[in-house]
Structure 1
Amino acid sequence: MLQAAQNAPLLAGLEAGGTNFNCVVARDPHRILASARFSTLKPQHTLTEVLAFFRDASETLGPLGTMGIASFGPVDNNPASPDYGRILNTPKFDWVQVHLLDWFREKLGIPVRLDTDVNGAALAEQRLGAARGIDNFIYVTVGTGIGAGIVMGGQLINGFTHTEIGHMRMSRDGERDPFAGCCPFHGDCLEGLACGPALEQRWQRPGTELPPSHPAWELQADYLAQMCANLTYCYAPERIIIGGGVMQNAFLFPLVRERVQQLLNGYGPAPALAHPDSYIVPPALGGVSGQLGALLLAQQQLHGNSPAA
């Protein structure tokens, strides 16, 4: 068994995030052999850095077998689409129409599977983290943007393309929160009000500089609670996992749980009402859910599995 693991093909994993591109190489997700992080700058700059890392890893560790990419979006994640692997109408305008899948498939010469960063993270949390043994859950990331990977009946849910919960509409009290939102498409949608850049634009300081007593967090908790209540009623999940840079402020979780209970007001599925502490939780894998999800996507590509969680 040990010899087989040592001889397993090398997996390349890329979490292509709005802030950083996180790169990993492993033979299985439990043992990372090499890793690197590069800032998400202009496409040519960042992609060249990432490509150099994987080529160096291949020379040092051996040939890469397959690659998995867990990408920020919107991105075409439908394998039947002619644009599969292409970044679409993202607020990161320099990246619009960049074809991530083709770039790495051509440059590295290996098979590549791509999905969204949140779908990758959801896959990792179910296999290795906070959703083990759970068939119906939602993984949400709150960082540079807001997105969700939705798993129902053990399967990742996509429609024509991936879901876009970050652009759900919010109830905003203009007197309490005069900030009009930072989404270039919708203004005060969920992402426009509660992502990391929205925090910084509203308060003129990044969230990392705001103390727990700052009024920003009560407002933030309200928007995230609205999100959780909407997801609860739409999907009736057994658990909602919330990760991303903004949620590293652990004091947000009790604020969100309390507000969700107020919004549900006794009406909703049993896990949400009876067990709020285990219903809305942080990721068990911390900040590496997306990277491990990318490796799992590479494993699926290697073995020809469908992209189920």
Structure 2
Amino acid sequence: MHLLGGVEAGGTKFVCAVGTGPDDIRAEIRFNTTTPEENLAQVIRFFQEHHAQTPLAAVGVAAFGPLDPDPSSPTFGYITTTPKPGWAHTDVVGPLREALGVPVGFDSDVNGAALGEHRWGAAQGLDTFVYITVGTGLGGGGMVNGKLMHGLMHPEMGHMQIPHDWDADPYPGFCTYHGDCWEGLACGPAIQDRWQFPAEELPPGHPSWHLEAHYLALGLVNIICLLSPQRIIMGGGVMQQRHLFPKIHEKVRTLLNNYIQKPAITEHIEEYIVPPALGGRAGVLGALALAEAARAGAPSGHQQSAEKS
């Protein structure tokens, strides 16, 4: 087994791990997302300490974005036009390659989590599925025909436009680019900004959750009709409120209005829209899967599911 390094670079926190998979994590560290200089130094220091004891074969990074996952691009490995202060146009892969001297896999946090779920979690055996994260931001990724979703860059599902009833919800939206896009209406900071309490402090019966389920269902219906995924996995901090899932299931079926007559939706929707089997570890385990693919020589950011070592 080749020892790998994984980095989940989130908008709120970084998680770094050394290991080979869910049952073999040798070391792990977490720290708050601050500045590129401080965080990249922390990542490099963590891996150098372990690299000196047992050499790493590769490192994978699953990061917030937008980012550039195209190996042929001059800005491959960069976080690009992110609204996160201080992080726009940051080279992530370059410093890691230089410091560690190993291949570095790089992709969006949601594509990374999707790859982890495909390898070890709720998407095993599937070739077309979507992973949605609802937390500090709202994003989506996944696979189509067994390959991670890429094209011009990577999916930006969180910035699709969804119906906004201004009379029912006058909140203008949290997104600094689009205001009331899907992320702007349904991400964790939007919930707090709208109701003046963080999501984890709102009780299950609070009206916020019916509105949140409605907005999430609107986006999911678009994704279902567009990509026809075999399963939708929903993670992130907001989705830790598990009482949201039945509300989302009901609203998705209502919005589809029996148009898609497939048992996965009409009879077993609780097995179709599901939480991640890897829980909160989906991101960092996905980063390990990105490292595994990079070690195997797959083009970083464009690989299929990682081969087992």
- TM-score of the superposed pair, with normalisation by structure 1: 0.94
Three-state SS of the structure 1 residue aligned to 2:133 is strand
Could you tell me which residue of structure 2 aligns to residue 33 of structure 1? 26
- Paired residue secondary structure (1:290): helix
> 1:30 Cα shift?
3.1
Distance 1:11 1:177, change over 3 A: same
- The answer to whether the aligner puts 1:308 opposite 2:300 as a matched pair is no
Percent identity over the alignment is 49
Counterparts of 2:159 and 2:21, CA distance in 1: 35
Give the structure 2 partner of residue 148 of structure 1.
140
Aligned mate of 1:239, from 231, 242, 248:
231
CA distance in 2, matches of 1:77, 1:255: 35
Q: Match for residue 262 of structure 1?
A: 254
Alpha-carbon spacing, 1:280–1:102, altered in 2? closer, same or farther (3 Å): same
Structure 1: where are the runs of 5+ without partners? none
Match of 1:170 among 146, 162, 168: 162
Q: Report whether the alignment pairs 1:278 with 2:271.
A: yes
Q: How does 1:208-219 map to 2 (within 5 A)?
A: 208-219=200-211
**Which position in structure 2 is the counterpart of 1:136?**
128
The one of 55, 58, 61 equivalent to 1:66 is 58
Distance 1:136 1:275 in 2: 18
Which residue is 2:7 aligned to?
Answer: 14
Aligned residues: 301
CA distance in structure 1 between the partners assigned to 2:213 and 2:241 by the alignment: 11
1:268 alignment partner AA: I
Secondary structure at the counterpart of residue 301 of structure 1: helix
CA contact (8 A) 2:141 2:157 kept: no
Alpha-carbon contact 1:232-1:272 (below 8 Å) kept: no
How much does 1:56 deviate? 1.9
Q: Name the CA distance, whole Å, in 2 between partners of 1:35 and 1:205.
A: 31
- Pick the structure with more helix per residue: 1
* 8 Å Cα contact 1:224-1:256 kept in structure 2: yes
Compute the displacement of 1:127 (Å): 1.2
SS in 2 for 1:64: coil
For 2:75 and 2:261, the matched residues in 1 are separated by 38
Letter in 1 for 2:181: C
Task: Give, in whole Å, the separation in 2 of the partners of 1:64 and 1:58.
Answer: 6
CA 1:269 to 1:111, structure 2 compared with 1: closer, same or farther past 3 Å? farther
Deviations 1:260-301 (A, max 9, x none): 011000002512233211111100000011111111111111
Cα deviation, residue 28, structure 1: 4.3
Residue in structure 2 matched with residue 47 of structure 1 by the alignment: 40
2:22 and 2:244 map into 1 onto residues whose CA distance is 29
- Asked if the contact 1:141/1:243 (under 8 Å) is kept, the reply is yes
Partners of 1:163 and 1:291 in 2: CA distance: 19
Q: Which runs of 5+ in 2 are unaligned?
A: none
Alignment of structure 1 residues 63-102 onto 2, 5 Å: 63-102=55-94
Q: Is the 8 A contact 1:257 1:276 kept in 2?
A: yes
Letter in 2 for 1:291: V
Deviations 1:113-150 (A, max 9, x none): 10111111111111111111111111111111111112
1:253 paired residue number: 245
